[in-house]
Chain A
Amino acid sequence: MKITVTIEDTDYVVDITPQPHELVPGQILVDGKPVAIDVQGDQWLKVQPRSMLVDGIPYEAQFDTGDDGFPSQAWINGRPSAVHVDFAGKGNLTKKKGVGMSQEAAGNAITAPMPGKIVAIKVKEGQKLEVGQLCIVLEAMKMENELAAPRSCKVKKVLCDAGASVDLDQVLVTFED
């Protein structure tokens, strides 16, 4: 299986040949060169953090997952690295993005970056906003977070109430041009 892992504009092509009927990888090539790996294939997914030896050196790995269901960040012995993976057939497997996340990416919504309580709603439906204009004040963990308009736009709908508790990723305000 050929997996391309992109880290900061560099593509690492990792080619893993599986052992037949086993979870243990047989051979692994990184950019065409063989690498000695020691991994307990049947343990890898059960234990946090993951453990691997590369050329005899032990590393522990942990992953953050992106919206598509694949690793978006790898932590190697506690150090982070933003990653992007690609492989043949990945398109069939990608989890659909939730409405909230893709809308936010398009600048059409503000979603709650963490669970908390709406302390103040500073905008009304139909109001014209400038980029960076304060829309919502969200209180969480004894701190106030100011959520602002991502672009010059108009408020379409306010979907939360002052004083309400909201969940992570909950859509709070939607915008239109």
Chain B
Amino acid sequence: MPSLKPLKRVLIANRGEIAVRIIRACHELGIVAIAVFSEADRDALHVRLADEAYCIGLAPANESYLVMEKILHVAKISHADSVHCGYGFLAESPEFAKKALAAGLTYIGPSPDAIRDMGNKTIAKRTALAAGLPCVPGEDGFIESVEQAGKVAEKLGYPVMLKAAMGGGGRGMRLINNPAGIEAAFRAARSEAKASFGDDSVYLEKYINEPRHIEFQVFGDFQGNVIHLGERDCTLQRRHQKLLEEAPSPFLDADLRARMGAEAVKIAKAVNYVGAGTVEFLVDAARNFYFMEMNTRIQVEHPVTEMVTGLDLIREMILVAGGAPLSVTQEQVQINGWSIEVRINAEDPFRNFTPNPGLITNLRFPAGGGVRVDSGAFTGYTIPRQYDSMIAKIIVHAPDREAAIRKMLQALRELEIKGIKTTKAFHEAILASDDFKYFRYDTNYIGKHLDALLAQYKADERIAAIATALEVFLYTRAKPAPDKIAQRSGTSGKPSNWRLTARRDGAKHFG
């Protein structure tokens, strides 16, 4: 166990909204926050708000934020006593955790061993099984014949998924609903696997019907306490990327929550977990749950847990790393009300979520009680193209789910971002839908229904026509500044206002 002393100078090995988040927690604790930044981030909010800031290289992450030696060098010259990696970048690198510890820094997170073991999907699954957690049932080893497939399928229980061992991209997979379907599926999966991957090895796994992604926040301290802080439902995804999260999950009842929470704590204890972690489960239509993986870092969507528990998880991470015990016991953890978070990204939902980094010319964030915005953006900020496309996380907290949905719709109504396309309209369309209200969705929902939802999401044409006409009218009527350049007319022989404005502003356009 490392020698534990309260932290005084934290180096934040990250950028963007999470770096701002960590700076806020540090300052609330009276701790010095040290930032690092790449050339592309010189103007960023986290640099502006830190106590000290050090440039660590060129824009590409692999020349800056991912370079361990540079981060550790800054830690040395800034006399940092600890490092917080946020999420992404080096956050789940056991190697970096080891190097930080070797350099005498407190690593705000679990041990390098826990990071390594949970980062390896095979070891993580074995650890989970050994701890008694239910995992996606599957047969170890390949299926060589139709007869064997039948036997294994019986054991697992239909429906089952036949998958290519070397597979990917959804190819070489066949869903088998009953014994009659085995032969055709077996031949098809094998031949597709052979054609696509040059290897026809297939294995069987139980098919998780209408899967929902539900994860539990766990927390451990150096005193050996491990608790869970309830779940987050992250079922709404697009291409395996989370878009919207809520706490609690509309799908769980108190009994299932208690059982899943207990399992989450079990695996965290099995790896002597310290700090914040997340145990992810898949839950099927019949309410069976299966361990998927464990993430050994703070997650993007941690705010929803903070809203319903009233706890500050980053603060907790810092205090625990400094040797303090968890500030609450399991019995003291209470889930109050409902919280929803949406991720506003610089992507155009009407054009297949094409990213569009660029300059934010105007920004208006929502506000009010129970409305929270975690963001590194501001008016005049240019989203760099080298990193992720997140602009802001909008989080709401309300007494129940329906109120939370309405509150989020209001917050999105107030949110204004000009200059780049964002996913705001996408979230509005989802949150206003009946499917969302009655939680009729699984992880495949967006892929199936997005186009239909967006097609309905349009402005009233008459109002749009009036507004557009006003825009054109008022622009052409705007009084121009006096212009010394000789004025050529249109057809009337007199200078047109538009022409003068265009010359003065260099053919600037509307907006």
Residues on A close to B: CB < 8 A? 1, 3, 5, 7-8, 10, 12, 14, 16, 18, 23, 25, 28, 30, 35, 37, 39, 41, 44-45, 48-50, 52, 54, 59-65, 69-71, 74-81, 83, 85, 87, 89, 92-93, 95, 113-116, 140-143, 145, 168
Chain B interface (Cβ < 8 Å from any Cβ of A): 346, 350, 354-358, 361-362, 385-389, 412-413, 416, 418, 424-425, 428, 457-479, 490-491, 496, 498-499, 502, 507, 509-511
User: Once the chains bind, are A5 and B458 in contact (CB under 8 Å)?
Assistant: no
The prevalent SS among residues of A at the interface is strand
Task: Tell me whether A83 and B354 are in contact (CB under 8 A).
Answer: no
B465-A12 in contact (CB<8A): yes
Q: How far is the CB of B488 from chain A (nearest CB, A)?
A: 11
Q: Tally inter-chain residue pairs, CB-CB below 8 A.
A: 177
Q: Are B464 and A93 in touch, CB under 8 angstroms? A: no
> A23 and B477 in contact (CB under 8 A), knowing A3-B469, A65-B511, A80-B458?
yes
Contact A30 B465 (CB under 8 A): yes
Known: A23-B477, A60-B416. 4 other contacts (CB 8 A): A7-B464, A76-B459, A79-B457, A142-B387
B510 x A71 contact (CB < 8 A) = yes
Q: Which residue on chain A has the smallest CB distance to residue B421?
A: A64
Residues of A within 8 A of B389 (CB): 141
Q: Say whether A52 contacts B470, CB under 8 Å.
A: yes
* Cβ B474 vs Cβ A23 within 8 A: yes
Chain B residues contacting A61 (CB-CB under 8 Å) are: 464, 467, 471
Which of B472, B502, B509 counts the most chain A CB atoms within 10 A?
Answer: B472
Q: Which of A64, A81, A143 counts the most chain B CB atoms within 10 A? A: A81
The smallest beta-carbon distance between A82 and chain B, in angstroms, is 9
Partner of A45 from the list B355, B459, B474 (CB cut-off 8 Å) is: B474
Query: Are A77 and B502 in contact (CB-based, < 8 A)?
Result: no
Q: Please tell me if the beta carbons of A81 and B477 are within 8 angstroms of each other in the complex.
A: no
A–B complex contacts, Cβ < 8 Å, 21 sampled: A3-B469, A18-B477, A23-B477, A23-B478, A25-B470, A25-B474, A39-B474, A50-B467, A64-B511, A65-B510, A69-B510, A74-B459, A78-B428, A79-B428, A81-B461, A89-B491, A93-B502, A115-B358, A115-B385, A141-B357, A141-B389
Cα-based distance from A7 to B362 in the complex (angstroms) = 26
Q: Are A69 and B467 in contact (CB under 8 A)?
A: no
B435 to chain A, nearest CB (A): 19
The minimal Cβ–Cβ distance linking A113 to chain B, given in whole angstroms, is 7
Would you call A95 and B507 a contact (CB within 8 A)? yes
Asked if A30 meets B361 with Cβ closer than 8 Å, knowing A49-B416, A79-B459, A141-B387, the reply is no
Q: Cα distance A5–B413 when bound, in Å?
A: 25
Query: Measured between alpha carbons, how far is A48 from B388 in the docked complex, in Å?
Result: 26
Q: How far is the CB of B145 from chain A (nearest CB, A)?
A: 40
Contacts of A143 in B (CB 8 A): 355
CB A167 to nearest CB in B, in angstroms, measures 10
Q: Which 5 A-B pairs have the closest CB atoms?
A: A12-B465, A14-B469, A76-B459, A81-B464, A81-B459
User: In whole angstroms, what is the CA distance A74 to B473 when docked?
Assistant: 15
A78 engages B412 (CB within 8 Å) = yes
Q: Nearest B residue to A49 by beta-carbon distance?
A: B416
